[in-house]
């Protein structure tokens, strides 16, 4: 393992201007001061409820959105507007919806071959086709699929096409934005196993964004939990799953279905009160305090910093 992380995110912010009146603009804080790192060949799972900013983090990392503040480093080199084209070869994305992320007018061969065309990664047409067929084989597609169009495939097969496209430039890092949430459960398992096999074979690192905690625990080495644009807890997959500390993480983990009726009957489900506040009108201090049963006066004054509770288990909470 290298001393320099593959990906390092420092104080990343992504604010979107929203018009709230004729001459009035407010900022929606989708991502607010997020920091984390990912080593080579490692998977970091990013979890949280819908609208917490997970996808925005992934897209901002790859500069599909221009960040409001903060920086992203790849092997210690800042990723900027000027060098992002070259960085695209090293960092790729698998999108959530396999139905809308593929061009319906292009054949599978052209979809997978497009990154090869953009980065000029072949010397002749036969080499291009050979690379495409190798990529298709990697993700479990047959050579005869190459001339078909995206609408002729099932959801799982379409996601495999998207994964092959991301792998075409031989990246070191892939943002997986809820890549299995649109798929049937049986197909989810196949795609997850494929991600693991590809990581073993190619040494690629993942930022795996999902809201299915069982999937994240299975595939991730470490997990980061997001709430309203902020990371509230990070740690090893086992630490976050079995010994959660932050009240929000406790609530998330108590909702995970366990296939053991005796255990399910004995454990206490933590149901949160109230609704998620609007990112346009964030509460002062800790964003979770309006729904937290442990909230105190200090929670309203300032956001708690992430502090180490042992073994790199970082938690942002004044009370716990």
* SS3 per residue for 113-166: HHHHHHCCCCCCHHHHHHHHHHHHHHCCCCHHHHHCEHHHCCHHHHHHHHHHHH
Q: Is residue 34 part of a domain?
A: yes
Question: pTM of this prediction?
Answer: 0.91
Q: Report phi then psi at 147, rounded to 5.
A: -95, 0
Q: Could you tell me which of 14, 61, 29 has the C-alpha nearest to residue 207?
A: 61
Q: Report phi then psi at 154, rounded to 5.
A: -75, 170
Q: What is the pLDDT of residue 263?
A: 67
Ranges of the chain with pLDDT below 70 = 1-2, 263-264
Q: Is residue 320 part of a domain?
A: no
> Which residue carries 């925005």 as its tokens?
56
Which residues span the domain enclosing 200? Answer: 7-90+171-243
Q: Is residue 227 part of a domain?
A: yes
Q: Is residue 20 part of a domain?
A: yes
Q: Tokens in use for 161?
A: 């096409």
Instruction: List the 43-47 sheet strands across, edge first.
Output: 91-94, 173-177, 205-209, 43-47, 222-227, 230-236, 314-315, 307-308
Domain CATH code at residue 35: 3.40.50.300
Q: Is residue 161 part of a domain?
A: no
Count CB atoms within 10 A of the CB of residue 155. Answer: 16
| CA–CA dist 99, 123 (Å, integer) | 32
| CA–CA dist 188, 210 (Å, integer) | 12
Helix pair 155-167, 108-118: axis angle to 10 deg? 20
DSSP at 268: P
Q: Could you tell me which of 260, 289, 264, 294 has the C-alpha nearest to residue 277?
A: 289
The number of folded domains in the chain is 1
Q: Is residue 233 part of a domain?
A: yes
Q: Could you tell me which of 54, 76, 72 has the C-alpha nearest to residue 62?
A: 72
End-to-end CA distance of the chain: 32
Q: Is the C-alpha dihedral spanning 48, 50, 54, 55 positive or negative?
A: positive
Let me know how long the chain is.
320
| CA–CA dist 286, 299 (Å, integer) | 5
Q: Tokens in use for 107?
A: 């054949």
> Which residue carries 């049963």 as its tokens?
293
Q: Could you tell me which of 223, 169, 224, 166 has the C-alpha nearest to residue 195?
A: 166
């Amino acid at each position: 393992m290298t001393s320099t992380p593959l990906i390092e995110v420092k104080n990343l912010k992504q604010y979107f201007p929203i018009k709230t009146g004729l001459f009035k603009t407010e900022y929606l804080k989708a991502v607010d001061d997020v920091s984390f790192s990912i080593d080579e060949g490692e998977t970091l799972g990013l979890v949280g409820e819908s609208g917490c900013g997970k996808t925005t983090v992934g897209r901002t990392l790859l500069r599909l959105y221009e960040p409001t503040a903060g920086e992203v480093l790849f092997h210690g080199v800042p990723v900027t507007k000027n060098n992002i084209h070259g960085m695209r070869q090293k960092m790729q994305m698998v999108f959530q919806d396999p139905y809308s992320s593929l061009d319906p007018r292009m054949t599978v061969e052209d979809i997978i071959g497009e990154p090869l065309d953009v980065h000029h990664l072949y010397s002749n047409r036969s080499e291009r086709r050979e690379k495409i067929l190798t990529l298709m084989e990697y993700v479990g597609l047959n050579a005869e699929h190459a001339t078909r169009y995206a609408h002729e495939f099932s959801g799982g097969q379409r996601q495999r096409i998207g994964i092959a496209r991301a792998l075409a430039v031989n990246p070191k890092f892939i943002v997986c934005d809820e890549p299995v949430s649109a798929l049937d459960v049986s197909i989810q398992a196949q795609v997850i196993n494929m991600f693991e096999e590809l990581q073993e074979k190619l040494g690629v690192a993942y930022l795996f964004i999902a809201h299915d905690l069982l999937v994240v625990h299975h595939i991730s080495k470490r997990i980061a939990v997001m709430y309203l644009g902020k990371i509230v807890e990070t740690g090893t997959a086992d630490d976050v799953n079995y010994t959660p500390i932050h009240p929000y993480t406790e609530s998330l983990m108590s909702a995970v279905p366990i296939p053991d009726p005796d255990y399910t009957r004995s454990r206490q489900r933590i149901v949160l009160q109230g609704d998620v506040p609007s990112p346009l009108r964030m509460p002062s201090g800790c964003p979770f305090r309006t729904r937290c049963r442990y909230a105190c006066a200090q929670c309203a004054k300032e956001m708690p910093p992430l502090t180490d509770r042992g073994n790199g288990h970082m938690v942002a909470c004044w009370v716990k």
